[in-house]
Chain A
């Protein structure tokens, strides 16, 4: 959660206009409720219009073709409607139509002040990063469950549990979710959180586009899952024509889901490219960027250049299915292999999209946790770019047996072989970084080491696959399944885990449990190798992939593999428990638990809402460990207002008791009701004004509980924070000569006010201080109006726009 920063109010360097007012009803302002009805409304209208056009053209309104048309338009507009309803376009729309309520950015949708903000459109890159990570982890679990279904079926020869169509759907959806809804967006999530901080920026270049990128992902994933209701897409995540063109309706769901996942990815990549190129802190040349930034620069380039090709390939399949074009129909002059060329032109760079950010993460972790500069920084940076560029020259190694032009196979073998070289350079550099270091075996480091081990195996099996005669032999067998899981699980997933552990303190402000982390690592490492290593042998022996039934002599080995696959699945529960428990109750993390030099560690854990009070000055490289006095950057933190330092107790008026009481009765008694805003300038100014006009005494109450009375706060830390704010306020009032007392009350605000009003010492006036309209739960519950109506004394409403430690309710 955010940290109180007195300078924050004006800390982001510009002033705001009036606060934009939003409709009160959640059905009408950007929210889940609105997303639900707008998405279905868009879908119904789209289906209706397309049905009407079919009717006018004399086409049947029932049957397979109508289903395809309905699915195509319905799903597409459903997903678009979802992003509209949740609020991604409100700001732009208000501008376009010239809405009188439109306000140039007031940051009302920026930053997490309560857990609820994570479920809304939010423009803070840190919030979006966490949204990505939580959503993608959910899809990781779902994709993993699908894999467990596959392994259950494969545990014995013959078919046991699933019809062939469903089984084919299981592995198709498994791969699709893992690639598009887990690995790729997970890296986007980590980078979203970390990269702007590493660059010394206050946010990404396009925060609203960033939010849209996230909200495009969820409907894409839901479309994939929804296909199970109509018969899942079952042509593999590769969706080859002609099988995909002939497949039932579920395949259309795949082709459309890919568009949204792809759009999400492309928008994020554009954002990263602009941010990295234009928003680096002063002094941060390219050669002083951390390697995670290099990795994201290369990855984002790949995404932008490559993803349109998979979108195109799926559009062509969709058109062949719905509009009866013949792109891939040989009987009508189409070209079957064309699909594979277009598809793999993206999907090979896609594997580098899924690896390069992981490499960046590993570079950070190995350097920091062995307290040494990364070995061969420039060569690693060059290798990253080289892999990105070369990655576009190797796609046809997925097509060696496809029947494509035979001459193409040899050059593709050559380029595929050459890509091993920059990858090898990185591996050797990481090991050399460890050499003679001061190695701390934190969980992040364990996963980094495990990654090196498994990724070398995956990389070596890749060299095997590059050699044409070997590839011809093992293509489409379990050898390939082994290879891809070694590089994607042992590669990408291990690096994701490593990154999550490494940046967990920064993201959540808490430390995770190291013992559980170690347990998680070893369970994962052992179960992973036991599951996938034997698959190399199975493939060599001739077990094909994407089958439910196989030669019975492979039965025992498949059974053992399945057992370990379930252990691997269970290992994720250890991680889940550690994350949830630590996030809620883990020890508070310091700003820099790893004593690292990069910029994200130079701000609090979690960082302030706008990251830096002013742009840091970068003066050296990011990995200068062991160099005495070396600094990467100088970060300036604005000192909090001296008036706020120290806690002053509530004041009392000097003098004897009867004198005091007489004095108190003569003063105007003002009741101030404030919670999060209790230290706000606007409120204190209002009170000073009153005190300037006549003698006043102020009772300040800070109601802790939710204004709707829905839930009770019993959080001592929150109450303590509120007490501190209150004491600061009372101290300031005392210095301004205002007599004030106050207490934190464990009640909802309406009850707390009415208690005071009906007490033996009622106030003459009430001042209710709240957050702005868009953020105030009190205003959403009409607190001010109700008190005005019921208390029958003057009630003033003060709005305070303050960034402060959120408490319950207000």
Chain B
């Protein structure tokens, strides 16, 4: 088969791979934030690109080995082909275009994900060995992260001054930022789905790293407002 035909087979295999990728139901946990949806789309695009690249390399490799495999006593040499300038230019330029495209797409998504607005809810997150603490604008302090559906939220994250680095990660939001002693680090999420999720520490922080988690809950706006008010009054009374 000529190289063109093998190439066509490769493209078909890549397309089959693409279909398989698209019909697979559970690549990701449930998407519970605007940022999550954007990341998932970007990720799918990357997977489709990968399917084609993988198909091209694998099909040409397997075909070559199958077609031109020689027995051990075959003493011939192959044809003295040193290169092909056109081909080399193509496989330099095309990948460059592809990677630049994904870099641009990634940059666009990043900027959108981190856009701030004035209606933002700012939650201060503090990590310490081995617990998370959340502080709301009205002074409420909890160990459970409760958020309002549809409300853009900024997480202002740090770690206690004499503590170590932790990392704030909610898989369902697809956002992450390290909690670093001595500085503030920020990440953003706009929850889109009511439900219960989990905050996982994703920076090795010592013996309790495996267990350093906190529950996350997204509520409807009305429920959230009520929750916040209830928490405030309870904590003012001296309970928590």
Contact = CB atoms under 8 A, between A and B. Distances in A.
A373 interface: yes
B226 interface: no
A469 B202 contact: no
A463 B43 CA distance: 11
B209 interface: yes
Given A541-B29, A626-B78, A401 B176 contact: yes
* Majority secondary structure of chain B interface residues (helix, strand, loop or mixed): mixed
Contacts of A434: 60-61, 64-65, 68
Which of A414, A460, A473, A540 has most chain B Cβ within 10 Å?
Answer: A473
A437 B68 contact: yes
B81 interface: yes
B83 interface: yes
A222 interface: no
Nearest to B24: A537
B95 A421 contact: yes
Interface stretch (A546-554, A677-685, A703-711): A546-554
B50 interface: yes
B65 A403 contact: no
Nearest to A548: B210
Interface in A470-485: 470, 472-473, 475-477
Contacts of B95: 420-421, 424-425
A468 interface: yes
Interface stretch (A27-35, A375-383, A634-642): A375-383
16 contacts: A243-B164, A330-B182, A376-B84, A413-B103, A425-B92, A427-B57, A428-B87, A435-B68, A436-B78, A441-B65, A453-B61, A467-B105, A470-B106, A476-B169, A549-B210, A626-B80
B70 to A, nearest CB: 4
B29 A542 contact: yes
Contacts of B182: 330-331, 334-336
A432 B68 CA distance: 12
Contacts of B80: 372-373, 624-627, 630
A191 interface: no
A371 interface: yes
Nearest to B177: A401
B207 to A, nearest CB: 4
Interface string B57-87: 1101100110011101011111111111001
Contacts of A429: 83, 88
Interface stretch (A44-52, A234-242, A311-319, A492-500): A234-242
A457 interface: yes
Given A242-B165, A401-B177, A540-B28, A337 B68 contact: no
A439 B61 contact: no
Nearest to A473: B174
B199 to A, nearest CB: 10
A541 B46 contact: no
A367 to B, nearest CB: 10
Interface string A592-611: 00010000000000000000
Which of B28, B58, B95 has most chain A Cβ within 10 Å?
Answer: B95
B109 interface: yes
Contacts of A800: none
Given A375-B84, A473-B39, 12 more contacts: A372-B79, A372-B80, A409-B110, A436-B64, A437-B78, A439-B69, A456-B58, A476-B203, A540-B27, A541-B171, A595-B75, A625-B77
Interface string A365-397: 000001111011111000000000000000000
A669 to B, nearest CB: 57
A544 B35 CA distance: 20
B64 A435 contact: yes
B152 interface: no
A11 interface: no
A94 interface: no
Interface in B93-109: 95-96, 99-100, 102-103, 105-107, 109
A649 interface: no
B194 interface: no
A173 to B, nearest CB: 14
